[in-house]
Structure formats: C-alpha cells, structure tokens
Structure 1
Amino acid sequence: MTISQHCRSLLITGVDTAVGKTRITRALWSYARRYRPQERWGIFKPLQSGTAVEIGDGDYYCQTLPLEQTAAEVCPLSFAAPLAPPIAAELEQRPIDLGPVWQTYRQLQERFDYLLVEGIGGLGSPITWEWTVADLAAAWKLPIVLVATVRLGAIAQIVANIALARQSKLEIRGLILNCVTLCSDTDIAQWTPSEFLSRFTQVPVLGVLPWGQHSNEQLAQMIAEWPLELLWR
C-alpha cells in the first residue's frame, strides 16, 4: 500500500479520552485556513464510537468548519456505544474492517496538501482486537503531536504515553496542553510545567490552550505564536 508523497499527515493523539483532541484539531485547521490559505488542509478521523450519546466527529467538523469534505469522508466508520471500538462493534455484531478506512485515507491524501488525523481515545486505546492507536500510527508512518489535559496527575500520563510512542518507534513532534476546565496560571505552572516537561521528556511543549468556548478565528489567533513549524518539519 502506498500513499501520496506530496501530502503531509499528522496524528493528533492524546494521553487519554476527553483531553481535547478535537478542539486542538479544529484550532490547527483554523490556523491553517487563516494563515496558510494557499494550502489545502483536510481532517480525518479513522473511526469513532459514542455517536448514540453525542454528535459524531465527522458531523461536528462539518458543522463548525468550512471543510471541502463530507462527514463520511471525515470519519468513515462509527459505532453507537461510547466504548472502545472493538467492544462497541461487538455490541452491534459488526466487524471492524479497516480496509475502507485506509481507502478513504488514501483518497484524502491525494486531495489535500496536509491532513490532520485525529486519534481515538488515548495513544494506547484499542481500535481492533489486535491494534491500538499507536499500532495504527506506526503502520501508517504518522508523526504525532500528543495532547494532554492540565490537571494534577498529568505528568505521569504524559511520560507513560511518550514511553509508549517511543516503544512503537513513533516520531513525536510536540506536546500540547489543553485546559478542559478553568485553570489558573498557578495551576498550569504546578500541574504541567512546560519547561520541566520539555526537559524531562525531551519533547517540546508547543503551547497551552486556555479553557473556554472560542470561535475558529479566536482559536487560530491563540496558537499563531506557537512554534507550529515543528509539526511540519
């Protein structure tokens, strides 16, 4: 299997579920539209679960961003239960066939200059009975950016996921910290100190996204000063 050589892909993965991968993906796409309009950017979520309790990511991205994609092209495989995909698929008595997922990925690679691939759950989350997100990233040769929440205990999660990434021989382009609740500067400095994390893990911390509801333009402006060139080297 081969993919287009001109398209650059990046996996936005997390240390856990509900850490803000979708928010970070939306921010990166909005930044690209605002500051790099000459390039074509797409979004891809290989598979998802939990559509019975919340809007699917394909529909969410199409509703919040002016994408040149359908919801099915953003996310070709969905399951209803908010569980790990192999368990959700078993409840529906459906197999997880990654063939059509790979085919959609290849098609998007041909259409776009850059493709933001959002992971499922954390880097160690299972996507089939045999594969984790880390295995998928390794098979597709995807560099990653790791998203973590600002909270007590985050450092241990970050260190563990970076260890998993390195065990899987993944290229880690950076770490992004996301506030899923209101965080003070003191909270950020004590729970997820950027300088300490960068030195301890040898992974650059690109920035901290503050808590709150923000427009696409606001998200783009917030991350405009980050060293995003590290993601596309």
Structure 2
Amino acid sequence: MSGGWFITGTDTGVGKTRIACMILAALAQRGMRAVGMKPVASGCTATHTGLGSGDAELLLASSSVSADYGDINPYAFAPPCAPAIAAREANVEIRLDKILLHFRRLQQAAQWVIVEGIGGWTVPLGDRLSMPDVAREIGLPVILVVGMRLGCINHAMLTASAVRHAGIRLSGWIANQIDPAMTRVDESIIDLARSLELPLIARFPYQPPKGPCQRLPEFPLHRLLP
C-alpha cells in the first residue's frame, strides 16, 4: 500500500514542518515505512554536501526509512525569499519532471510519503509552474494547516477554496495556534469548522519552538487512517 498527504498552510511559518514531522512519527510508531519530502526550499544554509534546508533535515530525521537528501529536497536555495525569485537569481528552472522523479523514488522506498509545500498554497515556482501544479501531479490529498492568529479565518477560507478549485481533495484541516496572544480561539475554530465544511483533524495550542520532532505532541493518526 502506498499513500501520503500533501501538507499546505495558510501562510509561511504556520507549522507545516511541525505537523509533517508529527505525522511521520505517528506512522513510524505504527510500524509503517514513511518518509518526508520538501520539494522546494529557500533560506537554506551551506553544508559539506551543498545547500541544506532545516525543514528538510527535520523531515529526514523523522522519517522511518533511509533516503538521500537529494530526493527529499531536490531544489534548495540560499536566499530566504520567494522560491521563484531565489531560483531566478540562481539561474535555475524548477522543473516538475525532476520533482516527480524524486517523489517516485521515495514512493518506492516507503509506504507513505508526506510532502510539505513551501509558504502558502498558491506559491509560484517560476513563470509556468506553481506549487498547486506540483500538488496536482503528485496526486496526494491535501491537509490544510491553519495558523491560528487574527485573520486566519479569511486565509483559511481562501486557501481551501483555491485547493478545491484546483480539483484536489482536502482530507481535513488542522488548527495550529501560532500567536499566543490570540483571543477568541475556541470561537474561531468553531466558525472555521462550520465554514470550511472539512473534518477538523487536530487542534494544537501554542508552543514555543522546540528541538527534535520526536519531542512534539502525539498526532491523532486514527483521524486520518481507516
């Protein structure tokens, strides 16, 4: 059996990597072979083997199968900016066929592949390619991570609408509080649940940035698997 999910978010910095790592850990606890993927990453740092993404490294550390870093993160850029701008400055074209090649390799190595997008949903990767194009071709259902802060209802509604417009199935959404000072959190989640018309998979309160993904809360995997 081969499956997985594409993790998108209402914006950058809403906890996509955290959620992806939690899902990988939960799959591993069930004895399943699972691996993470970050097709495109910016803000990468130099390593002895080339540019490396902190997000991709966390996904690799949380995976229960061995994989080459190049398969997990085919495109890595140093500038902490939009991927299309970073690619243009590096004179690199982000190609869909290359991303799919590495994705298929990961599929061959694992039962489950958890793919994390970059930024929000409608992120351009070049003049003729965007992240929704990648998600559509990969063919995994989408999990929407909603960064709970003021304005998140609008962002979540717009994102869910765009995913549906792309013809991609949404498995559900996750409420991840990123602003500790946000008020009316319970009321906002109730309104979102009503408006999105999607299963609420999990709700996570605000937590300061942590270290290894193994220390993150347990993910309710039973709400995704039959």
Range of TM-score over shorter length: 0.7 to 0.9
For the residues of structure 2 that align with 1:63 and 1:217, how far apart are their CA atoms?
9
Is the CA contact (8 Å cut-off) linking 1:47 and 1:78 kept in structure 2?
A: yes
Per the TM alignment, residue 67 of structure 1 is displaced from its structure 2 partner at its CA by 4.8
TM-superposition CA deviations, 1:181-214 (whole Å, max 9, x none)? 4357x54214x32x32222111111122221336
Please tell me whether residue 41 in structure 1 is matched to residue 69 in structure 2: no
Is the CA contact (8 Å cut-off) linking 1:145 and 1:231 kept in structure 2?
A: no
Q: Report matched runs for 1:27-176 at 5 Å.
A: 27-34=22-29, 36-37=30-31, 39-52=32-45, 56=53, 57-63=55-61, 67-176=65-174
Q: Specify the SS of the correspondent of 2:203.
A: strand
Give the 3 Å change call, closer, same or farther, for CA 60–230 of structure 1 in structure 2: closer
Q: Report matched runs for 1:206-221 at 5 Å.
A: 206-210=201-205, 211-212=207-208, 213=210, 216-221=213-218
Is the CA contact (8 Å cut-off) linking 1:13 and 1:123 kept in structure 2?
A: yes
Q: Specify the SS of the correspondent of 2:216.
A: helix
Q: How many pairs are equivalent?
A: 219
**Aligned residue in 1 for 2:178:** 180
Q: What residue ranges of structure 2 are gaps of 5+ in the alignment?
A: none
**Aligned residue in 2 for 1:23:** 18
Per the TM alignment, residue 162 of structure 1 is displaced from its structure 2 partner at its CA by 0.6
Structure-1-length-normalised TM-score: 0.84
Deviating above 6 A after TM superposition, structure 1's stretches of 4 or more consecutive aligned residues are none
Q: Report matched runs for 1:187-202 at 5 Å.
A: 187-190=184-187, 192-193=188-189, 195-202=190-197
Structure-2-length-normalised TM-score: 0.86
Q: What residue ranges of structure 1 are gaps of 5+ in the alignment?
A: 1-5
Q: Which amino acid aligns with 1:152?
A: L
Is the CA contact (8 Å cut-off) linking 1:52 and 1:81 kept in structure 2?
A: no
Q: Which amino acid aligns with 2:70?
A: A
